[in-house]
A and B are shown apart, each in its own frame.
Chain A
Amino acid sequence: MDLHSREFKIAFKTSIPVMMGYTVLGFAFGLLLISSGKPWYIALLMSIVIYAGALQFLAVGFFSSKLGMIDIFIASIMVNIRQSFYGLSLLKKFKKTKFKPYLIFALTDETYALLTTIKEKENIKKKWYYFYLSLLNQSYWISGTLMGSIFGNSIHFNTKGLDFSLTALFVVLAIEQYKKDKNLTPFFIGAFASIVTFFVVSRENMLLFAILFSIVLMFLFKKRLEK
């Protein structure tokens, strides 16, 4: 069987920046889940079947909350709704390949960024290259998670404040979002919706209500957003 080692090598080279990011973030996730009192295999399972950074971090909070499954479902959709925009630019690339289901499953922000921004070499089997790139990225995420959850089990050090890594991740993503449009309106909408719901509803309901409220605000300020 031909495993297309040349495509593997090119994919590996392309994936190196993601390797660093995912190993570290996966590590932080594994450690965080363990320090909330869950076993290591829960962390591993999540990184295999969910494979979405922000959502997995949020899940640590979900597990110790009173959220219902419908709340979790809606919150998960809304947290990752940006991903459904990604596929629109990959409809053609992913056509007619046996890897299509996995390529769609593994379509994270970083994999999407690589698939759409790095120019591919002409004379390679592209589908194998996409597949290897996606698989390598997930393998970094999984190995980071494993290391974090096992390390967190064996060595005890003060993890207080580690959960700020999630806040920091969103701060960084918000800055990157700002760079795209240079429009402050969405940030005011998000902040306003959050602060209002923070005072009005309980902590368990805050995320869902802030999302719903901000969607109402979005349509009220449609013109300002589209500027």
Chain B
Amino acid sequence: MTQEKIYIAITVMAVANFLTRVFPFLFFIKHEPPKFILFVEKSFPPIIMTILIFYTLSGVNFTEAPYGTKEIASIFFTAIVHCRFTNYLVSIFGGTIFYMFLVQFVN
């Protein structure tokens, strides 16, 4: 993207993000939200989190050695650390350092 497009993209993201936050304040002051909106809002978060995990890995080449094993190992490492300590900070930093070690020092 050009510098100019980046500024437009930032504006687009700022507006979209604010819309998601202001949405209920605009529409549901007086009446209850329709059922299908409640369904999407309630069921969507775990789905989007899963999609985002895959999306962030979409640049990984799974057909060539090491076949994405470093990414998969780091995901398991992050998950285990998180289940053990239930601390966002420890899990995210631990997982990232583990992955950085794998891609920088392990062949």
Seen from chain A, the residues whose Cβ lies within 8 Å of a Cβ on chain B are 20-21, 24-25, 28, 38, 42, 45-46, 49-52, 54-56, 58-59, 62-65, 69, 72-73, 76-88, 91, 94, 100, 104-105, 107, 158, 160-175, 177-178, 181, 183, 186-187, 189-191, 193-195, 198, 203, 206-207, 210-211, 214-215, 218, 222, 225-226
- B23-55 vs A, CB cutoff 8 Å, 1 = contact: the mask equals 111001100010000011111111111111111
Known: A55-B17, A76-B17, A187-B46. A91 touches B25 (CB 8 A): yes
When the two chains form their complex, are residues B56 and A170 in contact, meaning their CB atoms are under 8 A apart? yes
When the two chains form their complex, are residues B45 and A161 in contact, meaning their CB atoms are under 8 A apart? no
When the two chains form their complex, are residues A81 and B43 in contact, meaning their CB atoms are under 8 A apart? no
Q: Which residues of chain A are near B56, meaning CB under 8 Å?
A: 163, 166-167, 170
B93 contacts chain A at the CB level, 8 A cutoff? yes
When the two chains form their complex, are residues B82 and A171 in contact, meaning their CB atoms are under 8 A apart? yes
When the two chains form their complex, are residues A195 and B16 in contact, meaning their CB atoms are under 8 A apart? no
When the two chains form their complex, are residues B50 and A198 in contact, meaning their CB atoms are under 8 A apart? no
> A42 vs B11: C-alpha distance in the bound complex, in angstroms?
12
Q: Which residues of chain B are near A186, meaning CB under 8 Å?
A: 43, 46-47, 50
> A168 vs B102: C-alpha distance in the bound complex, in angstroms?
15
> A80 vs B22: C-alpha distance in the bound complex, in angstroms?
12
Known: A54-B52, A84-B41. A161 touches B100 (CB 8 A): yes
Nearest residue, chain B, Cβ from A215: B40
Q: Which residues of chain A are near B49, meaning CB under 8 Å?
A: 170, 173-174, 177, 190
Nearest residue, chain B, Cβ from A187: B50
Which of A76, A178, A195, A226 counts the most chain B CB atoms within 10 A? A76
B6 contacts chain A at the CB level, 8 A cutoff? yes
> A81 vs B23: C-alpha distance in the bound complex, in angstroms?
10
B65 contacts chain A at the CB level, 8 A cutoff? no
Q: Which of B25, B44, B96 contacts A165 (CB 8 A)?
A: B96
Report the count of interface residues on B (CB-CB < 8 A): 64
Known: A83-B21, A170-B49. A76 touches B13 (CB 8 A): yes
When the two chains form their complex, are residues A73 and B82 in contact, meaning their CB atoms are under 8 A apart? no
Nearest residue, chain A, Cβ from B91: A172
Known: A83-B21, A164-B96, A168-B92. A210 touches B54 (CB 8 A): yes
Nearest residue, chain B, Cβ from A94: B25
> A119 vs B37: C-alpha distance in the bound complex, in angstroms?
29
A107 to chain B, nearest CB (A): 5
Q: Which residues of chain B are near A45, meaning CB under 8 Å?
A: 10
> A113 vs B60: C-alpha distance in the bound complex, in angstroms?
34
> A183 vs B48: C-alpha distance in the bound complex, in angstroms?
15
Q: Which residues of chain B are near A194, meaning CB under 8 Å?
A: 50-51, 53-55
Known: A164-B96, A171-B95. A191 touches B54 (CB 8 A): yes
Q: Which residues of chain B are near A165, meaning CB under 8 Å?
A: 92-93, 95-96
> A72 vs B46: C-alpha distance in the bound complex, in angstroms?
21
> A172 vs B86: C-alpha distance in the bound complex, in angstroms?
9
> A86 vs B41: C-alpha distance in the bound complex, in angstroms?
10
